[in-house]
């Protein structure tokens, strides 16, 4: 098997050099490079800049840091601004947790430093600490309703109020209110992180959330397919099954 011309062209554009055969595993690399950089890159309705941001989100979620470093460089090479890359990863912090977010940002910042990009990048927060609950609810409720609050109200003691607060103020108030990215992109990257970590319960409501935020069903599908070679088939196919069964008129029934 040899690399297709499309795969060669895409690899050269992303990584700044023509691909050479891998010295230890040439067959494996030819298979994966043809799949990712020809077949997947040629399919769907999202552009190359967003494809690389999706890839950065997936690799951050999976903690595959050597590949994250390579694709951070690729994301820059293809024309993404550093602050856009940073914000894509900040948006997934509530879903992948802070240790993985910090590891990802350390790798990304290493690339920025190597390329002479001054750190820290500008702030992008838009709300005050005491506004987080209110501003988060303004985003959360139109997309996801009050169902999560109702479900977790059944937790014992103070946790019935605290857990919904953390989701509204911490998940939506701290992150979904940030600038730079569109609402559609914020929700799309959150969904891709959930696909990557296999958070099956949250996939269906977040497909609906991504569409309510402005993505089309075809764009959501294309994003999941872009993630597929990195997550592996099981997690991606589980999400694509939800796409195939998607009913825009159905209740989210989140977390039930």
Mean pLDDT computed over 216-232? 97
Mind listing the pLDDT tens digit for each residue in 45-67?
999 999 999 999 999 999 999 99
Mean pLDDT computed over 21-46? 95
Burial (Cβ within 10 Å: 0-12, 13-18, ≥19) of residue 196: buried
Mean pLDDT computed over 23-47? 95
Q: In whole angstroms, give the CA distance from residue 165 to residue 159.
A: 9
Mind listing the pLDDT tens digit for each residue in 126-143?
999 999 999 999 999 999
**What does the pLDDT read at residue 250?**
59
- Position 33 confidence tier, pLDDT thresholds 50, 70, 90: very high
Q: 3-state DSSP call for residue 23?
A: coil
**239 with 203: CB under 8 angstroms?**
yes
The pair of three-digit structure tokens given for residue 130, joined into one six-digit string: 């005491």
Q: What CA dihedral angle connects 101, 215, 251 and 134, to 10 degrees?
A: 60
pLDDT above 50: residue 246: yes
CA pseudo-torsion sign 132, 137, 140, 143: negative
**What does the pLDDT read at residue 147?**
82
**What does the pLDDT read at residue 155?**
96
- Position 158 confidence tier, pLDDT thresholds 50, 70, 90: very high
**What does the pLDDT read at residue 149?**
84
CA pseudo-torsion sign 239, 241, 242, 246: positive
Average pLDDT, the chain: 94
Q: In whole angstroms, give the CA distance from residue 66 to residue 64.
A: 6
Mean pLDDT computed over 181-196? 98
Sequence spans of domains, the chain: 129-172
Phi, psi of 199 (to 5 degrees): -85, 75
**35 with 96: CB under 8 angstroms?**
no
**216 with 78: CB under 8 angstroms?**
no
pLDDT above 60: residue 254: no
**What does the pLDDT read at residue 1?**
67
Q: Half-sphere exposure of 232 toward its Cβ, with a 13 Å CA cutoff?
A: 5
Q: 3-state DSSP call for residue 25?
A: coil
11 vs 146, higher pLDDT? 11
**What does the pLDDT read at residue 87?**
98
Q: Three-class SS string for 226-255?
A: HHHHHHCHHHHHHHHHHHHCCCCCCCCCCC
pLDDT above 50: residue 196: yes
pLDDT above 60: residue 256: no
Q: Three-class SS string for 113-142?
A: HHCCCCCCCCCCCCCCHHHHHHHHHHHHHH
**What does the pLDDT read at residue 247?**
79
Mind listing the pLDDT tens digit for each residue in 174-188?
999 999 999 999 999
The residue among 83, 96, 63, 84 whose CA lies nearest residue 191 is: 96
- Position 94 confidence tier, pLDDT thresholds 50, 70, 90: very high
């Amino acid at each position: 098997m040899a690399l297709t011309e499309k795969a060669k062209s895409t690899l050269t554009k992303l990584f700044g050099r023509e691909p050479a055969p891998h010295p230890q595993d040439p067959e494996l690399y030819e298979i994966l490079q043809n799949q990712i950089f020809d077949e997947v890159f040629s399919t769907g309705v999202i552009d190359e800049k967003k494809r690389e941001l999706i890839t950065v989100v997936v690799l951050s979620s999976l903690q595959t840091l050597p590949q994250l470093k390579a694709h951070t460089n690729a994301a820059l090479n293809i024309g993404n601004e550093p602050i856009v890359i940073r914000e894509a990863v900040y948006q997934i912090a509530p879903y992948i947790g802070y240790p993985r977010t910090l590891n990802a940002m350390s790798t990304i910042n290493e690339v920025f430093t190597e390329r002479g990009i001054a750190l820290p990048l500008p702030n992008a927060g838009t709300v005050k600490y005491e506004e987080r609950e209110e501003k988060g609810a303004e985003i959360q409720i139109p997309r996801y309703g009050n169902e999560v609050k109702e479900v977790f109200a059944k937790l014992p003691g103070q946790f019935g109020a605290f857990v919904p607060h953390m989701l509204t103020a911490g998940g939506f108030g701290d992150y979904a209110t940030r600038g730079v990215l569109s609402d559609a992109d914020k929700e799309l990257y959150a969904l891709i992180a959930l696909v990557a970590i296999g958070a099956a319960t949250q996939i269906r409501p977040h497909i609906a959330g991504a569409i309510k935020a402005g993505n089309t069903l075809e764009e959501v599908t294309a994003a999941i397919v872009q993630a597929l070679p990195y997550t592996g088939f099981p997690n991606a196919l589980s999400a694509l099954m939800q796409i195939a069964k998607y009913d825009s008129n159905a209740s989210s029934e989140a977390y039930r």
